[in-house]
Structure 1
C-alpha cells in the first residue's frame, strides 16, 4: 500500500503523519508528497523525512485539466494506492476522482456540513458560534461533501481569539487524523491483496 499526501501549506498534519508512517504506526508506505505551492513549508518537512516531493502550480500547467492530468501521471509513476489530503487547498477534479474513487480522505477544520470551503475557523468565530469542530471524510465531487468518517466538536470559548481557536482546532486535527487513517488504511491494504 503506497500513500500520497497532497498538501498546500505549512504541513503540520503532514509531519505528524510522516512520523507515524516512519515508525510503522500507520499501514503502508508514505511514498509521495505533492504540493501545489513550490515554496510551501511542507516541502521542507517532506525533505526532512526523505519523502519524494513533486510540486508545480495550476498556472505552470496552463489550467486545471492539464494540472490534474500531470498529477495523475505522477500518482501512476509512484504506484499510489491511496491519497490523504492534509491542508490541500484545491478541489479534487474528475481526472483524479475517477481513478481514486473511495480512496481519498480529507481533513476539514469544521463540523461539516457547517462551513465547507476555505476560512472555516474564521467564519465559525465571526458567527459567534458556541462550537466548531474537525471532520475527516472521503472526498467526492462536491465541496467538502463526501461521506463523513469521523467528527469531533471543538468548543469556542468566550475568551477565544481566532488564533487560540485555530490552535485548539489544530490540536484536535493532529490527534484525530492519524487515528482515523490508522483505522482505515488496513481495510484498503486487504482490498489490494484480494
Structure 2
C-alpha cells in the first residue's frame, strides 16, 4: 500500500497543531498520504518537534537569511522539490508567497484559513468576527492562488458564535473543527477526488457550485 500514498510536504511557521492533525490521520491510515517532509521558515518552531517525533524529515529555511522574497521562495521551492510531492500543505505558514512559487505549485497547494471565506481574509479573524456581530464563523480550506486567502474554496466547517464568546473561546472552537476539516480535504485530494481545473474546484469530476460543508460532505463513490 505504501507506494499508493500521496507524498505531501507541509509548511509551518509555528505550533503545528494542524500539522499534528494530519500526522495523526496519516499514521492512523484514515487518509492515503505520506508526509514526506515538514519545512519551517522559523527556527525552533514547535511544530518541527511534532514532525521529528513522528519520524518525518524536517528543514528550517530562515527567511531572514535571504535578501528578498524571491530568493527565499526559490530556495523553498528547491527544498520542497527534493521530495517530489503531489501536494504542498500550508499549515500556519505565515509568509506571503511570490507569484512564481504559487504558479509552480498551482492546483497542488492548499491552505487553511480561520474564517468562512471570503469573509475576514488576513489576520485576527476571530476578533474581527466578534466585532462584526456575525452569528456563524468557522474555517475554510482553499487552493492557493496569488490573491491573499483568495483561492478557490474547497470545504468549510462552521461553528455558531455564542453570546458570551471571547476571541479565545471562539478560536478554540474553530480550531477543533480545523483538525477535522484539514485531514478530510487532504485525504480527498490524496484519493484523487479533488482537482482544480480552470480555477474551478471539481469533486469526483464535477464542478462544485459552492464550498463543500464538512458536515454534509458526500462519500466517495467507491464507498457506497
Structure-1-length-normalised TM-score: 0.92
Instruction: Give, in angstroms, the shift of residue 188 of structure 1.
Output: 7.5
* Match of residue 61 from structure 1: 66
1:51 to 41, 56, 80: 56
* Match of residue 77 from structure 1: 82
Structure 1 position 33 matched with structure 2 position 65: no
Instruction: Give, in angstroms, the shift of residue 135 of structure 1.
Output: 0.6
Structure 1 position 173 matched with structure 2 position 178: yes
Structure 1 residues 23 and 152: CA distance shift in structure 2, 3 A? closer
Which ranges in structure 1 are unaligned for 5 or more consecutive residues?
A: none
Instruction: Give, in angstroms, the shift of residue 12 of structure 1.
Output: 0.9
2: CA distance, partners of 1:189 / 1:138: 10
2: CA distance, partners of 1:122 / 1:53: 33
Structure 1 counterpart SS, 2:121: coil
Structure 2 counterpart SS, 1:175: helix
* Match of residue 149 from structure 1: 154
What's the C-alpha RMSD, in Å, of the aligned pairs?
1.7
Matched residues, number: 190
Which ranges in structure 2 are unaligned for 5 or more consecutive residues?
A: 1-5, 196-224
* Match of residue 126 from structure 1: 131
Structure 1 position 163 matched with structure 2 position 154: no
1: CA distance, partners of 2:29 / 2:135: 38
Structure 1 position 184 matched with structure 2 position 189: yes
Task: Give CA deviations for 1:126-179 in whole Å, capped at 9, x if unaligned.
Answer: 222222111111111101111110112221101111111100000110111111
* Match of residue 108 from structure 2: 103
Task: Work out whether residues 72 and 95 of structure 1, in 8 Å CA contact, stay in contact via their aligned partners in 2.
Answer: no
* Match of residue 13 from structure 2: 8
2: CA distance, partners of 1:184 / 1:129: 31
Greater percentage in helix: 1
Instruction: Give, in angstroms, the shift of residue 108 of structure 1.
Output: 0.6
1: CA distance, partners of 2:66 / 2:129: 35
* Match of residue 22 from structure 1: 27
